[in-house]
Structure 1
Amino acid sequence: MAYSDIYKQIGFQKELMRLQKQANFGSDREIKMLRNLGIKDDSVILEVGSGPGFYTKVLLDNFPNSEIIALDNDEALLNFAHNMLNNYGNRVTFMQDDIMKCTIPDEYFDIVIARFVFQHLSDQIIALKEIYRILKPGGKVIIIDVDSELWGLTYPKNELIKNLNSNLSKYQTSINGNREIGRVLLTLLKKLNFKNLNIEAVINHSDILGKENFRFNLDKGIENDPRLGVIFKEYNDFFNLNYSSIMILKLFFYGEKSK
């Protein structure tokens, strides 16, 4: 199933809203981590799976002396990004291509960033080989992703969130993705000869960012279904508790191409 098939089902505008929220959610902490991992503001950066450009904008705003190439295989999302970011001029270039078999020349980029992309790929090894090929000697790759076992930890423990994680993981597998990619990415980087490996985490917590920012958009129409109505009630009861909290771990995987 292509990604476009998914957003056609839920609605293009609704998916844009979700992606915009995802891009800006705790982005200041992500930028701090990128800098800690050695991203300098004079780089040629490839953003893999750039989609509608919301995270591209975050990168452009925080690395104003860098050139960003936004790569995605979805024409509609790239067109949206191009229209939204046209005021950044030649600092950003949009490229419709596939990281699994891209047309980029060898040893071109200082930095490759892939944010919430690898969980969707059918063959992560092929993608990493391509990334290794297009990185300059000494170039850096940073993969930001999740592992279903570490995503959405709640207090008090909430079975709805646990079940949601399980169902998302099963769904990802059914469309040839892997929501448990977090536990294997560093091993794959090592296997493909990336050096100076590192793994870090950025933690988003509802007591810092606000609990409403973690709330999923459930359609209130489900209240008319007795089975789904129970889930809806449990979900809202959790968020309405004045002492409940939730945290999400974003994992940062780092490697370098040999000089």
Structure 2
Amino acid sequence: MTESKPSDEEERERWERILTTQTEEEFRDFVIDQLDLRPDESVLSVGCGPGFETAALAQHIGEKGSITGIDVNEAVLAAATDLCGDLSQVSFKQGDITDLPVADESYHLAIAKQVLYAVSDIDAAVNELFRVIKPGGRVAVTAGDRRTHVKHTPTDRMQRADEIYRSEMGDRQRGTRLAALLPEAGFTIEEIVPRAKIQTEINDQIEQGIEVQRQLLAANDAFDDAEIEAWERDLRDLNETGQFLSCSTSFLHIARRPE
């Protein structure tokens, strides 16, 4: 039986839970701390989600600057609007990174944090970021590389499941590909900063990954239903005994559009 797609409201609640975890809060602070923000800058927050990043940016920009949050999900944008309702320098628009609903050369800075994993046309996304940045302005883009994702997999069954997962997921090297894609779009890269994201328990984000992996295993002849259930029990047992560990590296690219 095919599972129903989550409603917008369910997506909103899920992202609020994910983005308020300590791991995500620390990652958000890490990105902002690298940017040396000025109080008069105009900032575009792409994939702003329920507004936590937007609110954090407002603390640094102050009332002299401006921040526009962009997201594709209406319910998520409604949550962001509620969260940032008292911030006069903040506004929101619905849109996609491959077709941003803003004018050319509008912003001093655009931040796209962990957005590209869901984008099929990554070249169009990077070109859009170049279009909306003022000459001399910057982008801060983060993405991971599937090859850096490591897990504690003490059983042969878990190791085989992860091999299938990696092979079926295909090209997920965007965090390293940006080193070529940003210059091709016209940017000059100023800095690339790696950041390890470590998970030591199964949270909402990990649950989503487990569901994706279950679907991939179900479509593979190497695993039957009983072994898929046993694989998931292996994960749950690690979590219950404090042995769960998953680590991936994201790469923050800070690049400038030439004057």
Q: Who is 1:133 aligned against? A: 131
Q: Distance in 2 between matches of 1:161 and 1:20?
A: 31
Matched, 1:194 2:191: no
User: Percent identity at matched positions?
Assistant: 21
Q: How far did residue 68 of structure 1 move?
A: 1.4
Q: Who is 1:116 aligned against? A: 114
Match of 2:151 among 120, 136, 154: 154
Q: How far did residue 134 of structure 1 move?
A: 1.2
Q: How far did residue 252 of structure 1 move?
A: 0.8
Matched, 1:44 2:34: no
Q: Distance in 2 between matches of 1:78 and 1:199?
A: 30
Distance 1:135-1:78 versus aligned 2 partners, 3 A rule: same
For residues 98-139 of structure 1, the C-alpha deviation after alignment (integer angstroms, 9 at most, x for no partner) is: 332334222210110111211222222222222112111111
Q: Who is 2:143 aligned against? A: 145
For residues 137-165 of structure 1, the C-alpha deviation after alignment (integer angstroms, 9 at most, x for no partner) is: 111111112111223x2346676488468
The more displaced of 95-104 and 125-134 is 95-104
Q: Distance in 1 between matches of 2:53 and 2:204?
A: 18
Q: How far did residue 91 of structure 1 move?
A: 1.7
Q: Judge conservation of contact 2:8–2:73 (CA < 8 Å) in 1.
A: no
Secondary structure in 2 aligned to 1:81?
Answer: helix
- Give the count of matched residue pairs: 239
CA RMSD of aligned residues (A): 3.2
Q: Who is 1:67 aligned against? A: 66
Q: Distance in 2 between matches of 1:234 and 1:169?
A: 21
Matched, 1:231 2:228: no
For residues 24-39 of structure 1, the aligned pairs below 5 Å read 24=20, 25-39=23-37
1:133 counterpart letter in structure 2: R
Distance 1:13-1:102 versus aligned 2 partners, 3 A rule: closer
For residues 179-199 of structure 1, the C-alpha deviation after alignment (integer angstroms, 9 at most, x for no partner) is: 321221111012122113321
Unaligned 5+ residue runs, structure 1?
Answer: 1-6
Q: Who is 1:204 aligned against? A: 197
Secondary structure in 2 aligned to 1:99?
Answer: coil
Q: Distance in 1 between matches of 2:46 and 2:229?
A: 39
Q: Judge conservation of contact 2:32–2:57 (CA < 8 Å) in 1.
A: no
Distance 1:78-1:30 versus aligned 2 partners, 3 A rule: closer
Q: How far did residue 242 of structure 1 move?
A: 4.2
Distance 1:57-1:21 versus aligned 2 partners, 3 A rule: farther
Q: Distance in 2 between matches of 1:160 and 1:99?
A: 35
Q: How far did residue 47 of structure 1 move?
A: 1.0
Secondary structure in 1 aligned to 2:197?
Answer: strand
Q: Who is 2:173 aligned against? A: 180
Match of 1:96 among 94, 97, 106: 94
